[in-house]
Amino acid sequence: MASSPGSIRVLFIYPNLMLQTMLPSSMTVLSAVLKSRGHSVDVFDTTFYATEEHSSNEYRVQRLQMRPFDTGAQRKLLRSVESMVQDLRSKIEAFQPHLIAVSALEDTFLLGAQLLDAVRDYAIPHLVGGIYPTFAPDLVISHPSVDMICIGEGEGALVDLCETLATGKDTSTISNLWVKKRAGEIRKNPIRPALNLDELPLPDYSLFPEQRMYFPMGGRLLRIGAVETHRGCPYRCTFCNSPGTYDLYGDAAAGNFFRLKSVESVHRELRYLIDEKKVEYIRFPADTFLAMPNAYFYDFAEMYKQVRLPFWCQTRPETLTQERVNILSEIGCADISIGIEHGNEDFRRDIVGRNYSNELLLDRVGNVRDASFKLRVNNIIGLPRETRRLTADTIAINRKIQSLVECANAFHFAPYRGTKLRDLALRLGYIKEDTVVEHNTKDTVLDMPQYPREHINGAIRTFNMYLRFPESYFPKIAVAEKFDKEGNRMFEALRQEFSERYYGGVSGANDLEHAASV
């Protein structure tokens, strides 16, 4: 394939979890930035390879945390995992990239590394970027098939790397990159300043095939576009690596990682998605959408009145003031996710790093009573030092608000690198230094004497039963928490009843019976 002088061909590898079809907006931005400089970009995406038995959403359906939807159409697109390496090699031979770049989270790095191993013989430079190398740089750079890693934001580093590759100059001095030089020698460059979000071009949706535009929401597959309004988060939750990124930039004097994109730029992107990409639903992926100042929020709301497409965002409970809820309703907000995380005030403050009372939480959630949008809530079970007794407090607070909630999730605690709670879990001996998180809908990686793995899994699979069934069902649900014969039979019977009562008789398209068994 011919290229103009100075043009570099970059192949992204996106080692995604199976059928996690939410489009990675960060990659559409990286692609747009590179193309705006005259480079060519292609992607190898593992989303539609059968890398696992069940997808995250299928696990959630099984645990009654998600309204069942028909996965048949998506499953028909799955290719066998055996063909994955050959498909990647064919893509490399057709595209002839000068650089292969992997975007990796902790739970996808292993797959990305396996793919890099399988194409090492092409002798193309390999770069790994994303959250995982940002917080586990030594581990990722030590992998034999990794030549460089990117720490923090990738846009500027990728452009500089491509331009340096195009001129044949030394690539080892580019800010944000760690580069392997000779055996044992790694050049660690400083972090560059956080970029100005208004300088980014429109995202490049042509990178992915059409089917990647769709995602299940409320039992339907919707054509969805994502718009970044801000990057970073000003809060300090201990299970999350956003505070780590904030500190990384602060410590490096590289600016405030928490930044807003101007309302004008947001509007420009929205118009593009609606007019050109024909989306029917907008997703605002900001970590904490309502962490925006009032002046920005009012401007945003005025602008969005012209757009009026249903949208989703995620925020913290205490940001749901009555005024903001009313305005969000007026402008067509359809879905909001919030993190309850834990129901015990002391535990939430001391372990989770969220210092607000249950009274405030209930007050804020109560504000959505007449809202236009559906509320989805997230909880975490199996946090360090947690016990089954403490989980009862999470169940109790969720029961108090369940009439206002469309969908309640209970995720396994995942000790991601770069979080304070990983350090605590290590100190307490619940995990090992080399423990790697798998995706947090599947199982816990913690080994806690006071809260055994099967008890955590039992609490998670019955969580929504505790929330929705009358209290008189609690003894039967307690039986369904157990993964023995009687418990599994009870779980199945209650799952059928739950589906009939609350999901109109649809019990889920896939038989994942006992998927949570340990």
Tokens of 287: 């970590």
Q: Kindly tell me which of 235 and 298 has the beta carbon lying closer to ligand SF4.
A: 235
Q: How far is the CB of 341 from ligand SF4 (least distance, A)?
A: 8
Q: How far is the CB of 233 from ligand SF4 (least distance, A)?
A: 3
What count of residues does the chain have? 518
Contact string 302-321 vs ligand SF4 (x = CB under 6 A): --------------x-----
Q: Kindly tell me which of 189 and 358 has the beta carbon lying closer to ligand SF4.
A: 358
Q: By CB neighbour count within 10 A (0-12 exposed, 13-18 middle, 19+ buried), where does 473 fall?
A: middle
Q: How far is the CB of 93 from ligand SF4 (least distance, A)?
A: 41
Non-local (6+) Cβ contacts of 483 within 8 A are: 454, 457, 458, 514, 516, 517, 518
Dist CA 48 CA 75 (whole Å): 8
Which of 71, 229, 242, 444 binds ligand SF4 (CB under 6 A)? It is: 242
Q: How far is the CB of 235 from ligand SF4 (least distance, A)?
A: 4
**Footprint (CB under 6 A) of ligand SF4, residues 212-241:** 233, 235, 237, 240
Tokens of 406: 């469309």
Please give the size of the binding site for ligand SF4, defined by CB under 6 A. 10
Q: Kindly tell me which of 233 and 263 has the beta carbon lying closer to ligand SF4.
A: 233
Which of 243, 244, 285, 384 binds ligand SF4 (CB under 6 A)? It is: 243
Q: How far is the CB of 345 from ligand SF4 (least distance, A)?
A: 17
Contact string 284-303 vs ligand SF4 (x = CB under 6 A): ---xx---------------
Q: How far is the CB of 437 from ligand SF4 (least distance, A)?
A: 15
**Footprint (CB under 6 A) of ligand SF4, residues 323-352:** 339
Q: Is residue 421 a contact point for ligand SF4 (CB under 6 A)?
A: no
Q: Kindly tell me which of 185 and 251 has the beta carbon lying closer to ligand SF4.
A: 251
Contact string 250-289 vs ligand SF4 (x = CB under 6 A): -------------------------------------xx-
Q: How far is the CB of 402 from ligand SF4 (least distance, A)?
A: 22
- Residue 126: strand pairing partners: 100
Tokens of 354: 């969220």
Dist CA 250 CA 244 (whole Å): 10
Q: How far is the CB of 240 from ligand SF4 (least distance, A)?
A: 3
How far CA 291 is from CA of 133, 234, 259, 299, 338, in Å, comes to 27, 7, 10, 14, 13
Is beta strand 148-150 parallel, antiparallel or unpaired with respect to 126-129? Answer: parallel
Q: Kindly tell me which of 352 and 490 has the beta carbon lying closer to ligand SF4.
A: 352
Listed in sequence order, the DSSP H helices in 37-179 are 56-62, 72-76, 84-95, 109-118, 131-135, 137-141, 155-167
Q: Is residue 384 a contact point for ligand SF4 (CB under 6 A)?
A: no
Dist CA 289 CA 228 (whole Å): 10
Cβ 414 vs Cβ 341: under 8 Å: no
Q: How far is the CB of 35 from ligand SF4 (least distance, A)?
A: 30
Cβ 279 vs Cβ 223: under 8 Å: yes
Tokens of 154: 């990738």
How does DSSP assign 159-206, residue by residue? HHHHHHHHHT---TT-TTEEEE-STT-EEEPPPPPPP-GGGPPPP-GG
Binding site for ligand SF4 (CB under 6 A): 233, 235, 237, 240, 242-243, 287-288, 316, 339
